[in-house]
């Protein structure tokens, strides 16, 4: 695999990480270089809905990279969210919409960072810039990623760029954005068959501040109550994870995608951070955060600041 440039998103891949990897490789091909989309984890149900809709196979799963492997990162840059061996890989490009942290390379690279709601929106603009037309399959992939990351443009992370891109993409994709979007998002909310261990790791991201590390995990649902049926077990597994991984805080956000609110469960020695961050005390290790749906914009910055 060493000669092939690998393109991948973060661990616990979401729809943007998968679709943007595929799109990036397609764009590279149009521009005359061979790259290969791969993934760092299991395909979630929402993403599976997109792949099934298009009748395409998921990218190949890889677990680590060898020293010197050429890679392109999409939808992430932090090494602790990336693949095992990333420190020794040769990063030749990054296309991302997150804050830049713990990132360093020994050689120059292509780095495209824009504070948009989705990586696919950046890639949409790249297509335009290179003068490439977008076909139906590409449009479905990009539109799905934007719908996912912005929760149908309702998340505060949404920018005018995302709105414009989605508007154009759904026409090419020939989809009814609300109908397709809601079906796709709902496909990802069927959580019953996951074990609690799987549940808290479905979309978990680890962050570091100095020598402190903490996790913010998130699941989408159409019923917070439904997820809380397993509250006791969820707390037990989170406590176990905190011990095993030496975490200072674990925040599990259960996000109601229909009403745009989140209930969080927070555990760890640094739980007082929650009150400082959101002006709300935890009751029974939980807090209801009205209007909060975005980890990137509404959870992480305030938690990080108060750590
Ligand atoms: Mg992502
Ligand atoms: Mg993203
Ligand atoms: Mg996400």
Pair of tokens at residue 265: 């469960």
Determine the Cα–Cα distance for residues 40 and 158; give it in Å rounded to an integer.
Answer: 26
Determine the Cα–Cα distance for residues 184 and 187; give it in Å rounded to an integer.
Answer: 5
Ligand closest to Cα of 145 equals 2
Q: Is 111 helix (H, G, I), strand (E, B) or coil?
A: strand
Q: Mean pLDDT of successive 10-residue segments in the chain (307 residues)?
A: 84 97 98 96 96 98 96 96 96 97 92 98 98 98 98 95 98 97 93 93 92 95 95 98 97 95 97 95 96 96 95
Rounded to the nearest angstrom, the distance between the alpha carbon of 149 and the centre of ligand 3 is 5
Determine the Cα–Cα distance for residues 76 and 283; give it in Å rounded to an integer.
Answer: 33
Determine the Cα–Cα distance for residues 74 and 220; give it in Å rounded to an integer.
Answer: 22
Pair of tokens at residue 210: 């100095």
Residues 6+ apart with CB under 8 A from 18: 9, 39, 43, 47, 50, 51, 58, 59
Contact 103, 39 (CB under 8 A): no
pTM: 0.91
Determine the Cα–Cα distance for residues 202 and 205; give it in Å rounded to an integer.
Answer: 9
Tokens 């050429």 locate to 70
- Write down the pLDDT at residue 13: 96
Rounded to the nearest angstrom, the distance between the alpha carbon of 14 and the centre of ligand 3 is 6
Determine the Cα–Cα distance for residues 213 and 73; give it in Å rounded to an integer.
Answer: 22
Ligand closest to Cα of 188 equals 3
Reference 142, options 117, 159, 107, 160; nearest CA is: 117
Rounded to the nearest angstrom, the distance between the alpha carbon of 306 and the centre of ligand 2 is 24
Rounded to the nearest angstrom, the distance between the alpha carbon of 74 and the centre of ligand 1 is 9
Q: Which H helix or E strand runs over 27?
A: helix 15-30
């Amino acid at each position: 695999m060493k000669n092939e440039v690998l393109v991948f998103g973060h661990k616990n891949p979401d729809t943007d990480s998968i679709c943007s990897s595929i799109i990036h490789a397609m764009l590279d091909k149009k521009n005359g270089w061979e790259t290969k989309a791969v993934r760092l984890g299991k395909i979630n149900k929402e993403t599976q809905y997109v792949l099934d809709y298009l009748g395409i196979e998921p990218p190949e799963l890889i677990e680590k990279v060898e020293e010197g492997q050429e890679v392109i990162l999409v939808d992430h840059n932090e090494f602790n969210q990336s693949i095992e061996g990333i420190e020794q890989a040769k990063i030749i490009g990054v296309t991302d919409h997150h804050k830049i942290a713990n990132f360093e390379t020994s050689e120059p690279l292509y780095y495209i960072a824009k504070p948009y709601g989705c990586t696919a929106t950046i890639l949409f603009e790249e297509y335009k810039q290179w003068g490439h037309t977008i076909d139906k399959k590409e449009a479905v992939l990009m539109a799905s990623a934007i719908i996912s990351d912005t929760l149908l443009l309702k998340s505060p992370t949404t920018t005018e760029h995302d709105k414009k891109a989605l508007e154009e993409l759904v026409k090419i994709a020939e989809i009814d954005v609300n109908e397709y979007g809601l079906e796709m998002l709902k496909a990802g909310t069927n959580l019953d068959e996951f074990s609690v261990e799987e549940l808290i790791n479905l979309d978990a991201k680890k962050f570091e501040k100095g020598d402190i590390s903490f996790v913010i995990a998130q699941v989408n649902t159409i019923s917070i109550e439904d997820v809380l049926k397993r509250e006791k077990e969820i707390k037990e597994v989170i406590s176990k994870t905190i011990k095993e991984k030496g975490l200072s805080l674990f925040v599990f956000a259960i996000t109601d995608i229909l009403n745009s609110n989140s209930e969080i469960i927070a555990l760890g020695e640094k739980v007082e951070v929650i009150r400082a961050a959101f002006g709300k005390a935890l009751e029974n290790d939980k807090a209801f955060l009205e209007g909060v749906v975005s980890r990137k914009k509404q959870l992480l910055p305030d938690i990080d600041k108060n750590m």
